[in-house]
Amino acid sequence: MNGYHLQEQRDSRPAATRCRSLGVQLGLLSLVLVAGIVLSGSLGYLNIPFGEVIQIVSAKWVGWPSNAGLSEIHSAVLLDVRLPRILAAAIVGAGLALSGVIFQGILLNPLADPYTLGVSAGAAFGAALAILFGFDWMGRYAVPVFAFLGAAATLGFVIFLSASADGGFSSSNLVLSGIIVTAILSAGISFLKYLADEQVAVIIFWLMGSFASMTWPNVGMVLAAVLTGFLVFLFYARDLNLLSLGERTAASLGVDTRRVPLILLVTASLVTAVCVAVSGIIGFIGLLVPHMMRSVSGPDNRKLIPVATLAGAVLLLTADTITRAILPHEIPIGVLTALIGGPFFCYIFRKRQNAGRGF
C-alpha cells in the first residue's frame, strides 16, 4: 500500500510540470535567440550599442534607415566579423541539437549523440590529413572539404559494417560499429599528430572547435545543410514517434522500418558532418539539448524537433559569446561546451536517478 502510494506521488509530477504549449515555447525561444544575436553582436573588443547593432543590420538588408552617420568601423566589425561568427555558431548549435534528437530517437539510446556513428572521428581524421599534407591548391577549403569527406566515408563504412544479412540495422550493431571505427580513427589521428611536428598545434586547435574567422560562405553552407535536415526530420517526425514503440509495432503502424531509419541516420550524419567540417568538434550540445528539451516539450518529435533546434542555437551562441566576448582569453569552444555541459549533464542525470526515473 505504502509502495503504491509512493509510486502515485512520483508519477503525477513530471507530466504536470511538462509545459505543453508549443507556441509559447517556440515564441520564447525565438525571442531569446534574436535577443541573444543582438546582445552578442554588441559585445566584444569593440562595444557597439544595441540600437546601433539593429540599425546597421537593418540598413544593410532592408536599406532603411540609411547608413549615413553610422560608424564604418562598427559596420565592418559587425557585418564582416561578428555576424558570420554569431550566425554560424547558432546554426551549428541548431544542427547538432537536431541531429542529437534523431540519433537518440533512432538508436533508442540515451547515450547517443551526433557523433555516435563515428562522424566526428572521421571528420577529424580528414581534417588532420588536410592540415598535415597542405593541399594548397584547394586553399582555405581544404580542411572543411576533407573533414566532410572523412565524415561521409566513415558513415558509409559504419553502415556497411552494421548491416545484417536481411538488410536491417539493429541499434546495438550501429553503436558498436561506431565505437570500433572511432577507436581505429582515433589511433590514426594520434599517428598523424605524431607525424605533424610543428603543425600538431593546428590539428589540436581544429579538434577543439572554433568559430573564429567564420565567413558568410561558411554560414551559407551550414544553413543549407541544417535547413534541409530540419525539413527532412519534420517530414518523418511522426514515423520517429512510432519507431520508439519498437520496430515491429512501427511496421504494423505503416512505417517502412528499413528505409525510414536509414534516411534519418544518413541525413542526421551529413548535417553533423557539415557542422563539424565548418566548426570543428563541439561536444555535448547534441547529447544535452535533446535531453533537456524532452523534459520541456515532451518526447513527441513533432514538437521536440523545432524546440530542440532553437534551444541548440541559443545554447551554442551563448557559449561562443562567452568565450569570445566575456572571458579575458578566448578558450576553444569545444572545451567550453564540455566544461559546462559535462557537469550539467551529471547534475540532471543524478537528479533523475534520485527521482527513480532513468532516461
Contacts to another protein by CB under 8 A? 7, 10-12, 14-15, 105, 108, 165, 235, 238, 241-242, 244-246, 248-249, 251-256, 294, 298-300, 357
Residue number, 67 or 244, with CB nearest to another protein: 244
- Residue 143 or 237: the one with the smaller Cβ distance to another protein is 237
Give me the least distance between CB of 251 and another protein, in Å please: 5
Q: Cβ closer to another protein: 105 or 122? A: 105
- Least Å from the CB of residue 181 to another protein: 25
Q: In angstroms, what is the minimal distance from the CB of 248 to another protein?
A: 5
Do residues 116 and 107 touch, judged by C-beta distance below 8 A?
yes
Least Cβ distance, residue 255 to another protein (angstroms): 7
Distance CA 89, CA 240 (A): 27
* Nearer CB in complex with another protein: 204/245: 245
Q: State the nearest-atom distance from the C-beta of 24 to another protein, in Å.
A: 17
Task: Report in angstroms how near the CB of residue 311 gets to another protein at its nearest.
Answer: 17
Q: Least separation, in Å, of the C-beta of 4 and another protein?
A: 10
- Give yes or no for a contact between 148 and 277, defined as CB atoms under 8 angstroms apart: yes
* Residue 299 Cβ vs another protein, minimum distance, rounded to whole Å: 4
Give the C-alpha separation, 140 to 191, whole Å: 24
Output the nine-digit C-alpha cell for 349.
542525470
Distance of closest approach, residue 254 Cβ to another protein, in angstroms: 3
Nearer Cβ to another protein (228/295): 295
Cα within 13 Å of Cα(111), Cβ side: 9
Q: Which of 38, 296 has the CB closer to another protein?
A: 296
Which CB atom, from 52 or from 300, has the smaller least distance to another protein? 300
Residue 98 vs 275, nearer CB to another protein: 98
Three-class HEC string of the chain? CHHHHHHHHHHHHHHHHCCCCHHHHHHHHHHHHHHHHHHHHHCCCCCCCHHHHHHHHHHHHCCCCCCCCCCHHHHHHHHHHHHHHHHHHHHHHHHHHHHHHHHHHHHCCCCCCCCCCCHHHHHHHHHHHHHHHCCHHHHHHHHHHHHHHHHHHHHHHHHHHHCCCCCCCCHHHHHHHHHHHHHHHHHHHHHHHHHHHHHHHHHHHHHCCCCCCCCHHHHHHHHHHHHHHHHHHHHCHHHHHHHCCCHHHHHHCCCCCCHHHHHHHHHHHHHHHHHHHHHCCCCCHHHHHHHHHHHHHCCCHHHHHHHHHHHHHHHHHHHHHHHHHHCCCCCCHHHHHHHHHHHHHHHHHHHHHHCCCCC
Q: Which is nearer to another protein, 1 or 165 (CB)?
A: 165
